[in-house]
Structure 1
């Protein structure tokens, strides 16, 4: 093999080393200038109302003045930056969302009153939000095109109303009903596809923006394409469990998005052929399966191809099976898992200071863990996943995801150079719209967020004598799991105490699903994956938790495709470095009363729920992880059992959700007297049992026997909780 080309290259590098050095310095300098400019840019949107607006006669007849904010450590510009910082989410093209009308009206789908119906928080136009989208909806850009996507704030900004006044809670749980929002969005898009005046208005409005579209046909083709994607998402995630307001099965939906984007054609063929009806017979013949999968990519099935598969399954033309909705959902169950365990949106204060996060502690918050966690979240909320199998000898993402070994790749490459063969392997490239730089910035931003304190000027003064008595009750009954922290301590660490689902007794569905849900692993079959108790070989059918961990590492290891080559890698290294060095949480074992992971069950510790500090708990109703108890006072009551007397005080088994009107006595939202979502606590996923320590019906970890709280003790404890 001639060495002349290599000699020429070395000679050229040596001759121009000064200019190369200057160029590299310029690149590094431009990166840091850009980062510094980003810090300055964060302060440009400083509307004193933080974009909030008053609402007159909104959902459930609620009217309120322009919302106020409590002292939570953020200035107006810091709140607005959090609301409007993109993370790589792309629900649909931005121009289409801006122009889209409601299904049965010429009013815009994004209008303030319509967004209020779904309990998203309406906003006025500000610098970062020129079109006045609600909190957490923004313009995001990927590969030169604009999209409407979600930010963290869409699910993690709350509001409480009281007698015409409103308080915005940064980092608080949203009241949002995302499921109805997405179904109505689909219906609105279908309506705009029908010829007529509505379609004409829509097309004219899109073209008037003079942005991503140049012709009517281009607009309608794009609308049809994205309507199919929204419809696909709704079908894949259809659940017999109604979510209602203030909760979402986020993990179930993230799991399904992952399975959708790793499944290969061979595995899809096998699963479709094995789908059976209630009588035990096949739903599809082998011939129908092959026709449905005709032309589909062999290695990874893409979004558009999955939409095409759904369309073919429902079609009666050209020999397609013509499935009805029931049959289609049965086929769905063969490919995916039903997301039937909705949980409350977690509050975000102290999240950057926590050792483990998520309701079941699935995410270790140490080192670069937060970057991986946030990447998984964007996978769930519509990040564009342009994953594809490519032929290459090595990639960092391929190495970290177990697709190729480092030394093995070097050895194979050297052998291929000698033999003259390419020596490449098929490795998944994790190209996506996910913005790792912003995810790291957002996590860092949350460090300064503090819990909201009880607003005595609005809700009334705290009775300090009652609170003092309640403090003693809290110390005896609650503090062993829910430790008290100083919200102003920058160096605070929040320890999540894990309680086994068998111990705490609350609805087990979410925790069980996180461990038991499985799916086909696609290209990651027979790769080695680490767990807390050793490496495992991923099987063809594997726990989705395992597959999610794999693909999250792959995305984190993939630089931003929207940046030019050198900047792409410099930003990537900076992001990983900052994620590691800016995170003061170190790896540690979980604490609490739970079953540890074993080699036989490496995910067993996830069969538990996390207790965390209760500062700001007053602003986070409804309660328990699944939102099945409306107020803190009701949480102190027992769940009514069949043999309990009728005249006792019990948790409500049915109540309304959706109102933001606050009850400062019981500490929760109004749950009677309006026509909201009727929450019934009778089925798995919705159960309101467990965590009955106040009623002395849940066994304590220390074995201590205590009597049920008296009525006076309940009110004393409630009063103390207001002080946290």
Structure 2
């Protein structure tokens, strides 16, 4: 993405010829949008920010209406963030509103059910009239309403604390990591949709309730057609993204799923047919004949295979009709693995405070935050959370900004990247995060910090932690958060996420034989089997360069100029080389630098459990312990190899969520993707950035350091 801004300016010059005209339009559009946007953002001012109490929720949790700490946002700021669409379209809105759970008549969207998957229930407010949970919103695209995710679904947290009086105080953390189980939610959603198709009584109630909404549907046939397609689309997503790694609560392989979604839409029919023809069972036998492949792909478009068509491909692969393969689960996964990559590297949802002040973001520093880098990052995120991708291909005719930026301008066939993704809102949301600050440990609720212990811990932090985790002033407007990268072989934490980002490949579709600039390496050709990071980068450029299909010609281009203008005038993050100890990019390995994880400021770290990038350590105290290895003494303190996730009850001593004593998700650290090893600086087993291995901390020193971490 580093050269995207320069390419945009070149393209705009090509269109308008005069730079003063571009600047004038940009400034005018920015002024009008900023004034109108500011007024709109302040319309919802519910004093509770929509939060409601919960009685006997998941894992027996009960709490009064959650409170908020001072994080730089007003009530209106929080509610705008929760309810601002980014263009996500999970399924038709009316269907979601009326959908019952698979095994009862209770609504799927009921507060109790959403709390079960650890989404945060809300009451109706101005921006959220149907009382959807935090992070769920109505989005209108091409005249139809859809339910979709907002940023807040994954980036709003909550911690609960039960005092000696038995009363539980709930604290909402804006920008904090969610406890959400998205996989469990989507699996249950698929079952509910299928049950509604199969259960006649449930179906009748459903159709009646959808039509009664008097919105997008007026008869039964319309409802059932959309219901069947929604079920197929969710089943497609769940099938493509099946993993042998159980994510549980509080983490998701977001990049693996983004990668798969862009691969699904970029692969061409000939590339898909060839990939299918090479799939073999143990012993070398092909599992699909040429005739079966032809039947499965009959009527499928040549260049772009949209959700409805790919879901039909999946249905045909499993069909036992004459001429169809009738594949079982194992063979279906073999076909999946020939086209997609298993998303087997779940990571914790990162916290968002200071993201606008960071030079590089994502756990492995994948995204440069300079120029329009945030636009590319956020566009990729919406691709992963169900942006509707109405991509099509057509013969090249005249100048196309998206074709120019994606280097398709030398091809006869080009892709039109029309989608529901709201790039304008993505820019606004990114700007909105600039004012968000990390939460301060509330001593009046969670207990006083022992200042003497914290002072001793401060000295230990300076020695053991600060070379990677800089201490910053959360109130400093000019603060910059620098990512300190550490090679995966040196930090020795679970490698799956970093390795997948570099090694995962896929079919490049129409991007084949286009070029892409790789920072520090130069221009490279995208081959038919290409790193997915290349395909995703080109796709996001195409989306950013494609104006909103739901707006008039003038409005859509003014919005694009507004977005580009904000990137120019408000994003002052310089394009710098990453700091740290990592492998250099080379012509043979152009993404080597991604085989690393970043250390960043730990302000607000007390509210972001579980820890390490893959959520494999439950508390800060446990993080300071060594991983137990074969031959280690049985007597001693080690990181837990098994613990429970899902509760929001804060352990104020060890600092993390309650990790035993209830029936949550059992996290086991035995497999790649789940490993809890590495980052053992405090245990004397991991070398510092300069190669020094410091002695292991004593138990008393560990408690001192934990006490200091509460102050950050």
Match of 1:665 among 643, 653, 660: 653
Match of 1:393 among 391, 395, 398: 398
Structure 1: state its 5+ residue gaps.
1-24, 406-423
Deviations along 1:293-319, one digit per CA (max 9) or x if unpaired, are 011101111111101100100101131
Q: Does 1:686 align with 2:671?
A: no
* Residue of structure 2 in register with 1:12 after alignment: none
Structure 2: state its 5+ residue gaps.
1-23, 163-167
Shift of 1:707: 1.1
Shift of 1:35: 4.6
Q: Does 1:329 align with 2:333?
A: yes
| 3-state SS in 2 of match to 1:148 | strand
Give the whole-Å Cα distance in 1 for the aligned partners of 2:180 and 2:315: 30
Give the whole-Å Cα distance in 2 for the aligned partners of 1:711 and 1:209: 61
Q: Does 1:89 align with 2:69?
A: no
Shift of 1:506: 0.1
* Residue of structure 2 in register with 1:159 after alignment: 158
Q: Does 1:288 align with 2:276?
A: no
Give the whole-Å Cα distance in 1 for the aligned partners of 2:667 and 2:694: 31
Distance verdict in 2 for CA 1:26–1:258, change over 3 Å: closer
Q: Does 1:596 align with 2:595?
A: no
TM-score by length of 2: 0.95
| 3-state SS in 1 of match to 2:364 | coil
Give the whole-Å Cα distance in 1 for the aligned partners of 2:159 and 2:358: 25
Shift of 1:329: 1.0
CA contact (8 A) 1:27 1:567 kept: no
CA contact (8 A) 1:393 1:425 kept: no
* Residue of structure 1 in register with 2:19 after alignment: none
Distance verdict in 2 for CA 1:447–1:27, change over 3 Å: closer
Give the whole-Å Cα distance in 1 for the aligned partners of 2:527 and 2:702: 51
* Residue of structure 1 in register with 2:17 after alignment: none
Give the whole-Å Cα distance in 1 for the aligned partners of 2:387 and 2:29: 28
Shift of 1:567: 1.1
CA contact (8 A) 2:154 2:178 kept: yes
* Equivalent residues in 2 for 1:359-438, closer than 5 Å: 359-391=363-395, 392-404=397-409, 425-438=412-425
Shift of 1:36: 2.1
CA contact (8 A) 2:26 2:565 kept: no
CA contact (8 A) 1:27 1:566 kept: no
| 3-state SS in 1 of match to 2:609 | coil
Match of 2:506 among 500, 519, 525: 519
Q: Does 1:36 align with 2:40?
A: no
Q: Which runs of 4+ in 1 moved over 3 A?
A: 25-35
Q: Does 1:234 align with 2:238?
A: yes
Match of 1:704 among 688, 692, 695: 692
Distance verdict in 2 for CA 1:705–1:35, change over 3 Å: closer
Give the whole-Å Cα distance in 1 for the aligned partners of 2:52 and 2:501: 39
Give the whole-Å Cα distance in 2 for the aligned partners of 1:43 and 1:236: 40
Q: Does 1:253 align with 2:257?
A: yes
Give the whole-Å Cα distance in 2 for the aligned partners of 1:112 and 1:183: 18
Deviations along 1:443-476, one digit per CA (max 9) or x if unpaired, are 0000000000001011100011000000000000
Match of 2:314 among 306, 310, 318: 310
Shift of 1:30: 8.7
* Equivalent residues in 2 for 1:145-544, closer than 5 Å: 145-163=144-162, 164-391=168-395, 392-404=397-409, 425-532=412-519, 533-544=521-532
* Residue of structure 1 in register with 2:21 after alignment: none
Give the whole-Å Cα distance in 1 for the aligned partners of 2:589 and 2:28: 49
Q: Does 1:639 align with 2:642?
A: no
Deviations along 1:393-439, one digit per CA (max 9) or x if unpaired, are 3301101101115xxxxxxxxxxxxxxxxxx9311111000001100
CA contact (8 A) 1:365 1:585 kept: yes
Give the whole-Å Cα distance in 2 for the aligned partners of 1:581 and 1:38: 17
Give the whole-Å Cα distance in 2 for the aligned partners of 1:281 and 1:27: 60
* Residue of structure 1 in register with 2:546 after alignment: 558
Give the whole-Å Cα distance in 1 for the aligned partners of 2:293 and 2:307: 18
Distance verdict in 2 for CA 1:638–1:404, change over 3 Å: same
* Residue of structure 2 in register with 1:624 after alignment: 612
Q: Does 1:139 align with 2:138?
A: yes
Distance verdict in 2 for CA 1:95–1:464, change over 3 Å: same
Give the whole-Å Cα distance in 1 for the aligned partners of 2:499 and 2:146: 35
| 3-state SS in 1 of match to 2:139 | strand
Shift of 1:690: 0.1
Distance verdict in 2 for CA 1:223–1:260, change over 3 Å: same
Give the whole-Å Cα distance in 1 for the aligned partners of 2:678 and 2:487: 11
TM-score by length of 1: 0.93
Distance verdict in 2 for CA 1:593–1:27, change over 3 Å: closer
Give the whole-Å Cα distance in 2 for the aligned partners of 1:449 and 1:33: 24
Shift of 1:38: 2.3
Shift of 1:528: 1.1
Q: Does 1:47 align with 2:46?
A: yes
Shift of 1:644: 0.3
Deviates further, 193-202 or 377-386: 193-202
Deviations along 1:199-231, one digit per CA (max 9) or x if unpaired, are 111111110111001101100110001110000
* Residue of structure 1 in register with 2:639 after alignment: 651
| 3-state SS in 1 of match to 2:667 | strand
How many residues are treated as equivalent by the alignment? Answer: 682
Shift of 1:278: 2.1
| 3-state SS in 1 of match to 2:208 | helix
| 3-state SS in 1 of match to 2:320 | coil
Give the whole-Å Cα distance in 1 for the aligned partners of 2:692 and 2:676: 24
Shift of 1:192: 1.0
Give the whole-Å Cα distance in 2 for the aligned partners of 1:28 and 1:635: 49
